[in-house]
């Protein structure tokens, strides 16, 4: 008896001590620290906000957006607590009444999904810190103890409401829906959590038991049964009535699934460029985390505040689609029965050689997924065996393999490549070493087989999906050869357009291409020759620095800038010509010269400036790096490569009384707590005197008359067309918005063969008219069509009335002269 009493008291004393020692020991294991509990790691998406605070899209690895408890609405909390943890508000992380059930179901039977054992807090602890489940009984019990400790710590750090929000934010509802915000959006057609109905909330809470098992997309009947179980629990806990249950249980799931992707939503091209800019900013020491690490825009839940106006952006994207559809129809009709890859124009001095075009087509074939699949199967196994035999890095790409095969066939190819500085002597020696290997014969045989396979398969008709303007999805299923598919998609014309508010520099719209899913190259930030759109800078410099009047008459005759003239530093004389190759020998006012893009007048103004420096300096003050403007007089005709972003930014100077404000599209970056990481500072510089600037907007207004029906209020602009109609531009100005637009093909030979179709007035100008007129008609935008250009106070000092300037003796100046043909540098008239 005495021994039994001793044993009893020993057990009574030792068990608590043992439990204390166990918990104390566990506290020194890999349990999360206080910092980790306060900042649990979540792959949290970073929303991109438009100017009105709406979400344009998100950067994410997991589409997880954290929401607060107040944003959940009443139904989610009721369904969750009723189903997962009825005594949630009466325990401190561990529900001691459920422990016997835990011991039997979880610890002994290993039923992780049995339910009823873990509190909401414990489930959160598992999601955050102990998700790995062991098959070992002892390790499972050990893990459960760790969950208890973490749960108790979480209850001390957070309120009950915060824990519920953290749990629902953390859970993966599958099908690309990480967290409750994404789940509501994906499964119920963009709803927010606080907009969910009782039955919708019950369905999502039902998925918490096992999202794969209760996947509404794969197992709707099973998911509906589970939803109704959740509704029954809500009745049991007096959150809904039996009558309400009877009604709700009869409803279908009502799932309207839309998977959120990176390119979903407005302005996908813009968001791609924003991501690049954000990475550049966040790599700088000033904007790093307190611990010195760089923020990850895909995981750290940052918030990006942008200037994009979603209403304007919607109009811009829609009008771009309508305009490009019409233009594409013209293009296919124009080329019907002809081949852009083999067509030649004997009168063109700048046309891309046919050999270069066909080589580009071959490269496009080799970059295709289909070609790469054949290459992996046929060529790569041999390449791997060769690489294992050489002691140097040799990629054995297609160009290198072809070079070695051609060297073996006719000799001298490798030496020629060295002489042309295409490869180094060392690299040439590596080529020859590979050719001496026994495996080179296998490589050549595999290469021949690959080319034969590609020739056969790429000319075999196949069922495939291609881009189209003919439906809302902008894609269709068809049958064509892979080669024809590549050629077809290469012939789709592209657009790049950006609009800027001139008084703030805020970028309001950004259209980077014809369709982001199919064509992901951004044309707002890519360089193209600008043609006549550069001419206003020549005129502005002349009017500002020399004080000349736009009524000045200049004869259309040859203008030569020769060696020794001014400070041009030419070695050979330069005499630009009009596209017709002739001159009218009639006089034109500068008004008429700018409107009709007369080359000789631009050349005359450049010669009078005696140097390119005045223009280059002025343009540098308008945001374009001086180094990117050649110190050659041909810039007067537009022989400059710039981006839509650069050119539109420069043109905002005209809309802001001669003061350049650097365009901005990212105003602020916040971390997940709302702390400001980055905030932009306005950057501005005077570029043109207000008097000269007022003259310029008046001239640009006259230059853009015609084909702008529907646009209200003051409007101006300048077209531009480059050699062989490769690029079509229109720079449109209103007091409210500056819109720069480029249209063309990704390849220079994808272009119209006639000026009437290929000029900027047909390629780009109609988009400006469509976009601005629809935006002005949208009352929600509040476009002020009564706004006007700022006229400086006092006398301008520059005569703008040509009748007064010439004493009313030259009536012909009131009538524009006949329009000229476009010039070889892309200076199309405005028609």
Question: Would you kindly state where each structural domain of the chain is located, as residue ranges?
Answer: 1-30, 64-248, 354-458, 497-814
Contact assessment for residue 515 and residue 474, using Cβ atoms and an 8 Å cutoff: yes
Q: Cα dihedral angle (665, 668, 669, 674), rounded to 10 degrees?
A: -150
Pairing of strands 494-500, 475-480: unpaired
Would the pTM of this model clear 0.95, i.e. be above it? no
Nearest Cα to Cα of residue 59 among 43, 70, 48: 48
Q: How far is CA 390 from the centre of its chain?
A: 42
Q: Can you tell me the distance from the alpha carbon of 810 to that of 185, in angstroms, rounded to the nearest whole number?
A: 69
Contact assessment for residue 68 and residue 96, using Cβ atoms and an 8 Å cutoff: no
What contacts 159, CB < 8 A, 6 or more positions away?
none
Q: Can you tell me the distance from the alpha carbon of 242 to that of 236, in angstroms, rounded to the nearest whole number?
A: 9
User: What is residue 668's three-state secondary structure?
Assistant: strand
- Fold topology of 64-248: Penicillin binding protein transpeptidase fold (1.10.3810)
Q: Can you tell me the distance from the alpha carbon of 631 to that of 641, in angstroms, rounded to the nearest whole number?
A: 13
Instruction: Evaluate whether 64-248 and 497-814 have a shared fold.
Output: no
Query: Given phi > 0 = left and psi -120 to 50 = alpha, else beta, which region is 498?
Result: beta
- Fold topology of 497-814: Beta-lactamase (3.40.710)
User: What is residue 589's three-state secondary structure?
Assistant: strand
What contacts 726, CB < 8 A, 6 or more positions away?
528, 529, 744, 745, 748, 751, 826
Give the tokens for residue 647.
């050119």
Q: Can you tell me the distance from the alpha carbon of 80 to that of 120, in angstroms, rounded to the nearest whole number?
A: 9
In order along the chain (831 residues), what is the average pLDDT of each group of 10 residues? 62 52 49 55 86 93 86 93 90 70 53 59 81 50 70 87 92 92 92 95 96 94 96 95 95 89 86 96 94 92 97 98 98 96 90 94 94 95 90 82 92 92 90 92 95 96 96 95 96 98 98 96 97 96 95 95 93 86 90 92 96 97 96 95 98 97 97 94 95 95 75 94 94 97 97 94 96 96 94 90 74 38 36 32
Q: Number of C-alpha atoms within 13 angstroms, CB side, residue 87?
A: 13
Q: Can you tell me the distance from the alpha carbon of 461 to that of 242, in angstroms, rounded to the nearest whole number?
A: 61
Q: Can you tell me the distance from the alpha carbon of 810 to that of 807, in angstroms, rounded to the nearest whole number?
A: 8
- On the 0-12 / 13-18 / 19+ scale of CB atoms within 10 A, 347 is exposed
Number of H helices and E strands in the chain, helices first, is: 31, 18
Separation in Å, CA 248 to CA 195, 199, 243, 254: 17, 6, 9, 12
Q: Can you tell me the distance from the alpha carbon of 467 to that of 461, in angstroms, rounded to the nearest whole number?
A: 17
């Amino acid at each position: 008896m005495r021994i039994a009493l001793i044993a009893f008291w020993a057990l009574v004393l030792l068990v608590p001590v043992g439990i204390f020692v166990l918990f104390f020991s566990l506290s020194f294991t890999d349990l999360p620290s206080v910092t980790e509990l306060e900042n649990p790691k979540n792959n949290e998406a970073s929303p991109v906000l438009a100017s009105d605070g709406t979400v344009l899209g998100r950067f994410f690895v997991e589409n997880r957006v954290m929401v607060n408890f107040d944003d959940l609405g009443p139904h989610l909390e009721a369904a969750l607590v009723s189903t997962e943890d009825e005594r949630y508000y009466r325990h401190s992380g561990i529900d001691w009444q459920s422990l016997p059930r835990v011991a039997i179901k979880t610890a002994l039977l290993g039923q992780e999904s049995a339910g009823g054992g873990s509190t909401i807090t414990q489930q959160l602890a598992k999601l955050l810190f102990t998700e790995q489940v062991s098959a070992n009984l002892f390790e499972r019990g050990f893990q459960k103890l760790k969950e208890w400790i973490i749960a108790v710590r979480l209850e001390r750090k957070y309120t009950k409401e915060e824990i519920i929000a953290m749990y629902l934010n953390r859970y993966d509802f599958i099908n690309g829906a990480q967290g409750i915000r994404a789940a509501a959006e994906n499964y119920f057609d963009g709803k927010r959590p606080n907009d969910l109905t009782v039955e919708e909330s019950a369905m999502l809470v039902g998925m918490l038991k096992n999202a794969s098992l209760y996947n509404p997309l794969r197992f709707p009947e099973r998911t509906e049964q589970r939803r109704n179980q959740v509704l029954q629990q809500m009745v049991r806990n007096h959150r809904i009535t039996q009558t309400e249950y009877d009604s709700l249980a009869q409803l279908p799931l009502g799932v309207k699934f839309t998977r959120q992707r990176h390119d979903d939503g407005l302005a996908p091209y813009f968001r791609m460029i924003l991501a690049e800019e954000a990475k550049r900013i966040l790599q700088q020491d000033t904007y790093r985390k307190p611990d010195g690490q760089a923020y990850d825009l895909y995981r750290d839940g940052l918030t990006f505040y942008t200037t994009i106006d979603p209403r304007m952006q919607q109009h811009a994207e829609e009008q771009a689609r309508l305009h490009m559809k019409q233009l594409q129809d013209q293009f296919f009709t124009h080329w019907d029965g002809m081949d852009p890859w083999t067509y030649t124009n004997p009168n063109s001095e700048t046309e891309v050689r046919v050999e270069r075009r066909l080589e580009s087509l071959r490269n496009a074939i080799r970059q295709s997924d289909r070609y790469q699949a054949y290459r992996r199967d046929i060529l790569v196994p041999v390449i791997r065996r060769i690489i294992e035999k050489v002691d140097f890095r040799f990629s054995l790409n297609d160009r290198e393999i072809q070079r070695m095969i051609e060297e073996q066939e006719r000799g001298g190819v490798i030496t020629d490549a060295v002489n042309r500085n295409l490869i180094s002597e060392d690299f040439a020696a590596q080529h020859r070493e590979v050719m001496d290997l026994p495996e080179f014969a296998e490589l050549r045989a595999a290469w021949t087989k690959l080319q034969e396979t590609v020739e056969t398969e790429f000319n075999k008709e196949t069922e495939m999906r291609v881009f189209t303007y003919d439906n809302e999805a902008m894609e269709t299923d068809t049958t064509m050869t892979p080669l024809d598919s590549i050629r077809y998609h290469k012939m789709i014309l592209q657009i790049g357009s950006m609009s800027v508010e001139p008084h703030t520099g805020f970028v309001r719209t950004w259209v980077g291409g014809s369709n982001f899913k199919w064509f992901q190259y951004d044309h707002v930030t890519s360089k193209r020759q600008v043609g006549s759109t550069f001419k206003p800078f020549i005129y502005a410099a002349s009017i500002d620095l020399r004080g000349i009047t736009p009524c000045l008459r200049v004869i259309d005759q040859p203008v030569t800038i020769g060696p020794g003239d001014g400070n041009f530093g030419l070695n050979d004389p330069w005499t630009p010509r009009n596209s017709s190759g002739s001159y009218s020998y009639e006089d034109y006012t500068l008004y008429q010269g700018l409107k009709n893009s007369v080359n000789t007048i631009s050349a005359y103004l450049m010669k009078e400036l005696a140097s390119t420096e005045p223009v280059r300096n002025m343009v540098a003050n308008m945001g374009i790096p001086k180094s990117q403007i050649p110190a050659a007089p041909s810039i007067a005709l537009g022989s400059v490569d710039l981006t839509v972003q650069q050119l539109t930014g420069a043109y905002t100077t005209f809309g802001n009384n001669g003061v350049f404000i650097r365009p901005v599209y990212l105003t602020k970056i916040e971390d997940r707590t709302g702390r400001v990481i980055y905030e932009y500072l306005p950057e501005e510089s005077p570029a043109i005197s207000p008097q000269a600037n007022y003259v310029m907007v008046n001239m640009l207004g006259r230059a853009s008359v015609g084909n702008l029906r529907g646009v209200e209020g003051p409007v101006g602009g300048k077209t531009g067309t480059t050699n062989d109609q490769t690029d079509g531009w229109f720079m449109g100005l209103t007091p409210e918005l500056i819109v720069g637009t480029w249209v063309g093909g990704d390849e220079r030979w994808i272009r119209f063969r006639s000026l009437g179709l290929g000029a900027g007035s047909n390629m780009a100008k109609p988009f400006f008219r469509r976009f601005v007129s629809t935006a002005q008609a949208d009352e929600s935008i509040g476009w002020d069509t009564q706004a006007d250009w700022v006229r400086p106070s006092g006398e301008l000092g520059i005569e703008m009335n040509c009748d007064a300037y010439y004493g009313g003796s030259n009536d012909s100046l009131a009538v524009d002269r006949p329009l000229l043909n476009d010039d070889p540098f892309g200076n199309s008239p405005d028609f």
